[in-house]
């Protein structure tokens, strides 16, 4: 089974990379891009029966730094 | 006085840190990240700069979960001393030994240059050799040195006199111009600038040597 974890900087934490992407899109003529936030997607290949609670623990311990990042989990993605 | 310098795959300032400790008079043991315990009787642990684990996932995140960092946490919880420089500072925030986090520089560029820092407090073994308010010139060399602290944390750090160094000309977007912070018990320092790279006349400056001399003097007196 698979799980997919999305990690994003929390709202309010300035994302300089997202900001650079926004500027680049503007430079390409894409008007009206008001904000860009860049995060990461982590795909996990898990043994059958692994619970969402276990994946949450993985996020808390390693996959996200909850001081600055939030995460969401899609089980069976 | 016994110091231990942790070594991770990708550490590259570990030997510089060893030399800086030795110059100040410490006996230094290098400790590989897979070791489960620190050597007996270690007074201070140095977490060096570099690119531990290639900065994969987040700078310092994998190192923070290595076996030796479990011992580092125990050492600190018992009131032991530690200093983390550059990637070492990132490791200390990832272990939550120090508060806050370090993000990509606001200008997105890797910056390698000597910068002026203001010493904010002389109330720690790391800064006792300096007068508060003094300017020191110490090199920075990082891509992810943008210190993140919300208003509440900033107020706490300032209120408890735990900001050790600030940038005079903020190069990376750090909150409150913070370049280095102390733990609540003032026994752990994390800083992005490299005092071990300004600790010998051959480095072009010796402003950083006081950090190591302060540690040695304090721990030898103790």
Q: Is B86 a catalytic residue?
A: yes
Taking the C-alpha atoms of residue B31 and residue A46, their distance in angstroms, rounded to an integer, is 33
How many pairs of residues across A and B have Cβ atoms under 8 Å apart?
36
pLDDT of chain B, 222 residues: tens digit per residue: 999 999 999 999 999 999 999 999 999 999 999 999 999 999 999 999 999 999 999 999 999 999 999 999 999 999 999 999 999 999 999 999 999 999 999 999 999 999 999 999 999 999 999 999 999 999 999 999 999 999 999 999 999 999 999 999 999 999 999 999 999 999 999 999 999 999 999 999 999 999 999 999 999 887
B61 → closest Cβ in A13, A16, A65: A65
Q: Which residues pair with B7 in a beta bridge?
A: B32
**pLDDT value of position A77:** 59
Structure tokens at B30: 């290098």
Q: Specify whether B142 is catalytic.
A: no
Minimum CA–CA partner of A11 in chain B: B150
> CATH top-level class for B2-221?
alpha beta
At residue B128, what are phi and psi to the nearest 5 degrees? Answer: -65, -20
Judge whether A1 is closer than 8 Å to chain B, CB to CB.
no
The predicted-structure confidence for A4-58, as pLDDT tens digits, reads as follows: 999 999 988 889 889 999 999 999 999 999 999 999 999 999 999 999 999 999 9
Contact check, Cβ <8 Å, B104/A68: no
Q: What is the pLDDT of residues B65-112, one digit of tens each?
A: 999 999 999 999 999 999 999 999 999 999 999 999 999 999 999 999
A12, HSE (Cβ side, Cα atoms, 13 Å): 10
Determine whether the interchain pair B103/A20 forms a contact, defined as Cβ–Cβ distance below 8 Å: no
What residues of chain A lie within 8 A of the CB of B106, using their CB?
14, 16
Which one is catalytic: B86, B94, B142, B203?
Answer: B86
**Inter-chain residue contact B106 with A13, CB threshold 8 Å:** no
Q: What is the ipTM of this complex?
A: 0.86
Count how many domains chain A has: 1
DSSP-assigned states of every residue in B24-55:
HT-EEEEEETT-SSPPTT--EEEE--B-GGGG
Per-residue confidence (pLDDT) for residue A14, from 0 to 100: 86
Q: Which domain holds residue A16?
A: 2-75
CATH of the domain at A45: 3.30.1280.10
């Amino acid at each position: 089974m698979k799980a997919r974890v999305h990690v994003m900087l929390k709202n309010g934490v300035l994302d300089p990379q997202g900001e650079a992407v926004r500027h680049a899109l503007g430079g390409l003529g894409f008007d009206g891009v008001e904000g860009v936030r860049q995060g990461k997607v982590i795909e996990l290949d898990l043994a059958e029966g692994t619970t969402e609670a276990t994946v949450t623990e993985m996020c808390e311990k390693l996959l996200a730094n909850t001081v600055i990042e939030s995460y969401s989990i899609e089980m069976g993605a | 006085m016994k110091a231990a310098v942790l070594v991770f795959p990708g550490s590259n300032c570990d030997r510089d840190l060893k030399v800086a400790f030795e110059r100040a008079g410490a006996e230094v043991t290098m400790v590989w990240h897979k070791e489960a315990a620190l050597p007996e009787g270690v007074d201070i642990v140095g977490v060096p700069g570099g690119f531990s684990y290639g900065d994969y996932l987040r700078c310092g995140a994998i190192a923070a979960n290595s076996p030796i960092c479990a011992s580092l946490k125990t050492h600190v919880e018992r009131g032991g001393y530690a200093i983390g420089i550059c990637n070492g500072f990132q490791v200390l925030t990832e272990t939550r030994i120090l508060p806050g986090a370090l993000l990509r520089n606001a200008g997105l560029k890797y910056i390698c240059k000597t910068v002026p820092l203001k010493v904010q407090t002389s109330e720690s073994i790391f800064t006792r050799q300096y007068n508060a308010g003094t300017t020191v010139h110490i090199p920075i060399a990082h891509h992810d040195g943008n210190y993140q602290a919300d208003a509440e944390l900033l107020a706490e750090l300032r209120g408890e006199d735990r900001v050790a160094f600030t940038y005079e000309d903020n190069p990376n977007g750090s909150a409150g111009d913070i370049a280095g912070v102390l733990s609540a018990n003032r026994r752990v320092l994390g800083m992005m600038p490299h005092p071990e790279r300004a600790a010998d006349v051959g480095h072009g400056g010796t402003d950083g040597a006081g950090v190591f001399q302060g540690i040695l003097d304090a721990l030898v007196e103790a």
